[in-house]
Amino acid sequence: MPIAIPPLPSIPTISQSPVAAASNSGANAPSVAGTDFMSQLGQAIDSLQQHQTATNAQALAVSSGTGNIADYMVSAEQTNLDMQLTDTLSQKATAAFNLIMSMQF
C-alpha cells in the first residue's frame, strides 16, 4: 500500500518577505522589523507547541495500533527540529543579552 506524502508548503520569495517590506519603508524600518520579529517569534513558539501536541496524539494512535508509524516519525522529526531551533534561538538571545549587559558606557 503506497504512502501518500503531502506537498511541501511554498517558501515566500524575497519580494514577499517582511524584511524586504521593512527595508523599503524608509525611516520606520527598525520599528516595523522589531515588531515583525516579535510576531514571528510568537508564531514559531505556537507552532512548536502545536507540533508537540500533534506528535503526542500520533504517538498515542500508533501505540494503540490505529496510527501510521511513518506519519508519526515525520511529525516527531519535525517537532525535534522545531525544538532544536527554539533552543538555539534561546541560547543566542541569552548570549546577546549578556554581551549587551557586559558593555561599559
Q: Tell me: the pLDDT tens digits for 7-62?
A: 767 665 555 445 444 445 544 444 454 566 677 778 888 888 999 999 999 999 99
Cell numbers for 54, please give them.
500533534
| Chain position carrying cell 514577499 | 16
Cell numbers for 72, please give them.
508519526
Q: What is the pLDDT of residue 4?
A: 73
Q: Contact, 59 vs 72, CB < 8 A?
A: yes
Q: Between 69-102 and 29-64, two packed helices, what is the crossing angle to 10 degrees? A: 150
Q: Tell me: the pLDDT tens digits for 78-96?
A: 999 989 988 888 888 888 8
Rounded CA gap, 36 and 30, in Å?
10
